[in-house]
């Protein structure tokens, strides 16, 4: 079981039932090798790529305008890119908020290939559609574990949130189903692996590279907040890179529809905002705090309040001064001071102009936001995907377990997952 030296894994030994996700350490085997060795070093440049798909923006605008409330449907539009097509055995109609995406798939539609990652409640497999031969990711969660870890509501929220969202920098879920022991989510397969892996290999990102990823994530957060969704688990492990090097936010296990405030203590210790640590009511502002921690970690290679003891991490989150390595640019220090701000009335992103204040900050001065959204910015790093769509070279190998999927027997927890 891998314990990342730069992540606080101590929490799994503590009895903090509301933070179950942190009880499981990061399992990805990371080599602390320098990307230079593999000619995979991320570049310093941010350039404009005139060839990137304008069509995707129009599609996103269309899809965003289709996101409505209960009782309505969203029809996805097919484009020329393979991931824009659902496995063809099923309807392309997606029902949202409180409606079902279930019943359209089952295990016989897919071949299960290798494991891509493991999480607290199950694992994610690479799968291949028997109908169109394309690859997808299948997230499998064990009902019993979800119940044991008191994550039923979060799991149902994850499905709900993923069935609502549609954004270039957010993972797309095509549908869900269940058997008597597991629930299943079919998602696009994102070949480039986690930003976490790239960051550990690179040690840290140059300022323009961190800015590029931050800009794409900023737009994803802005979008989620516009739907009153708080993400609550921003960290490099949850940011995947597509084959071109653009980000995809994944793992909506803590995402929640929160029009006003909420109280649940959840997240990953190094990234948790002080108002969450001190169990005060909180809102979207927690994502802007985590956004600051993310930028800090990308630039420094470690988080600002890291401690091997989780309780000390929490103490530091509440009280320690924010210190910067000497190589941080002045405007980076300034945006971080404003994002990683304990005073909610002063935290960037939480002020009157919301995300606009973040986007207008001098650290982002050269960013043309429309071009970022349109994916018109050339990516700093293109994952070396040589084998095409099913390439798994960017993922660690996991020991494969014997799987018992598809059994339709006694189902004591089925009533808790009716939407799947
Ligand atoms: N759509 C995808 N394409 C490729 N890989 C994926 C995809 N979704 C997830 N993964 C891989 O599987 C890992 C686990 O997925 P995810 O974080 O969603 O599971 P989880 O059970 O919620 O995990 P955790 O307990 O760490 O929060 C990810 O970190 C990533 O490496």
Q: Which residue has the tokens 């009335």?
A: 345
309 falls within a domain: yes
179 falls within a domain: no
Whole-angstrom distance, CA of residue 151 vs CA of residue 27: 20
180 falls within a domain: no
Pocket test for ligand 1, best of 20, 23, 119 (most atoms within 8 A of CB): 119
Q: How far is CA 192 from CA 116, 242, 244, 249, in A?
A: 11, 5, 8, 12
Whole-angstrom distance, CA of residue 355 vs CA of residue 91: 36
Cα 351 to middle of ligand 1, angstroms:
32
> Average pLDDT over the chain, rounded to whole?
81
Residuewise pLDDT in 10s, the chain (420 residues): 344 666 654 332 222 333 334 322 333 333 333 333 333 334 333 322 323 333 343 334 333 333 222 222 222 222 233 445 555 433 322 323 333 445 578 899 999 999 999 887 789 999 999 999 999 999 999 999 999 999 999 999 999 999 999 999 999 999 999 999 999 999 999 999 999 999 999 999 999 999 999 999 999 999 999 999 999 999 999 999 999 999 999 999 999 999 999 999 899 999 999 999 999 999 999 999 999 999 999 999 999 999 999 999 999 999 999 999 999 999 999 999 999 999 999 999 999 999 999 999 999 999 999 999 999 999 989 999 998 889 999 998 999 988 989 988 999 999 999 999
Domain count, the chain: 1
The first and second tokens of residue 156, run together, are: 């149902």
282 falls within a domain: yes
Q: Is 148 assigned to a binding site?
A: yes
Specify whether the CB–CB gap between 206 and 327 falls below 8 A: no
233 is a catalytic site residue:
yes
302 falls within a domain: yes
State whether the beta carbon of 284 lies less than 6 angstroms from ligand 1. Answer: no
Whole-angstrom distance, CA of residue 30 vs CA of residue 395: 10
379 falls within a domain: no
Residue nearest to atom 20 of ligand 1 (CA): 119
Q: How far is CA 387 from CA 82, 239, 380, 394, in A?
A: 15, 22, 21, 11
Cα 241 to middle of ligand 1, angstroms:
12
Q: Catalytic one among 188, 233, 242, 270?
A: 233
Cα 309 to middle of ligand 1, angstroms:
25
DSSP-derived letter for residue 315 is H
Pocket test for ligand 1, best of 8, 82, 117, 191 (most atoms within 8 A of CB): 117
Whole-angstrom distance, CA of residue 308 vs CA of residue 376: 40
Residue 41's nearest CA partner among 182, 169, 171, 206 is 206
404 falls within a domain: no
Whole-angstrom distance, CA of residue 415 vs CA of residue 418: 6
Index of the ligand 1 atom closest to the CA of residue 26:
26
Residue nearest to atom 9 of ligand 1 (CA): 124
ipTM over 0.85: yes
The parent domain of residue 238 ranges over 195-373
Q: What CATH number corresponds to the domain at position 338?
A: 1.10.510.10
Strand partners, 309: none
399 falls within a domain: no
Cα 120 to middle of ligand 1, angstroms:
10
Whole-angstrom distance, CA of residue 398 vs CA of residue 69: 40
């Amino acid at each position: 079981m891998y314990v990342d030296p730069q992540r606080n894994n101590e929490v799994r030994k503590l009895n903090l039932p509301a933070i179950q996700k942190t009880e499981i350490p990061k399992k990805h085997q990371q080599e602390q090798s320098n990307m230079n060795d593999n000619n995979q070093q991320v570049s310093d440049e941010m350039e404009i790529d005139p060839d990137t798909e304008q069509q995707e923006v129009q599609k996103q605008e269309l899809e965003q305008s289709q996101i409505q409330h209960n009782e309505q449907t969203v029809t996805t539009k097919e484009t020329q890119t393979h991931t824009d097509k659902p496995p063809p055995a099923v309807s392309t109609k997606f029902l949202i908020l409180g409606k079902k995406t279930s019943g359209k798939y089952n295990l016989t539609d897919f071949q299960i290939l290798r494991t891509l990652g493991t999480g607290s409640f199950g694992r994610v497999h690479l799968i291949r559609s028997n109908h169109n031969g394309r690859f997808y990711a299948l997230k499998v969660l064990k009902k019993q574990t979800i119940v044991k870890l008191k994550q039923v509501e979060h799991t149902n929220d994850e499905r709900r949130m993923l069935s609502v969202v549609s954004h270039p920098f957010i993972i797309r879920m095509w549908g869900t189903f269940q058997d008597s022991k597991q629930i299943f989510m079919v998602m696009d397969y994102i070949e480039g692996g986690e930003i976490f892996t790239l960051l550990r290999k690179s040690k840290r990102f140059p300022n323009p590279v961190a800015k590029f990823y931050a800009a794409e994530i900023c737009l994803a957060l802005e979008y989620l907040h516009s739907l009153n969704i708080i993400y609550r688990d921003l960290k490099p492990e949850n940011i995947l890179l597509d084959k071109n090097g653009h980000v995809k936010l994944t793992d909506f296990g803590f995402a929640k529809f929160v029009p006003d405030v909420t109280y649940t203590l959840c997240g990953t210790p190094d990234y948790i905002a002080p108002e969450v640590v001190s169990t005060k009511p909180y809102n979207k502002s927690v994502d802007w705090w985590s956004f600051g921690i993310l930028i800090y970690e990308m630039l420094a290679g470690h988080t600002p309040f890291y401690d091997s003891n989780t309780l000390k991490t929490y103490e530091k989150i509440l009280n320690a001064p924010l210190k910067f390595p000497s190589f941080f640019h002045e405007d980076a220090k300034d945006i971080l001071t404003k994002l990683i701000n304990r005073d909610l009335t002063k935290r960037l992103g939480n002020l009157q102009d919301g995300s606009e204040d973040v986007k207008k900050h001098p650290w982002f001065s050269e960013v043309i936001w429309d071009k970022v959204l349109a994916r018109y910015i050339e990516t700093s790093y293109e994952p070396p995907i040589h084998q095409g769509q099913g390439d798994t070279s960017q993922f660690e190998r996991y020991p494969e377990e014997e799987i018992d999927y598809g059994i339709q027997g006694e189902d004591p927890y089925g009533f808790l997952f009716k939407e799947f």
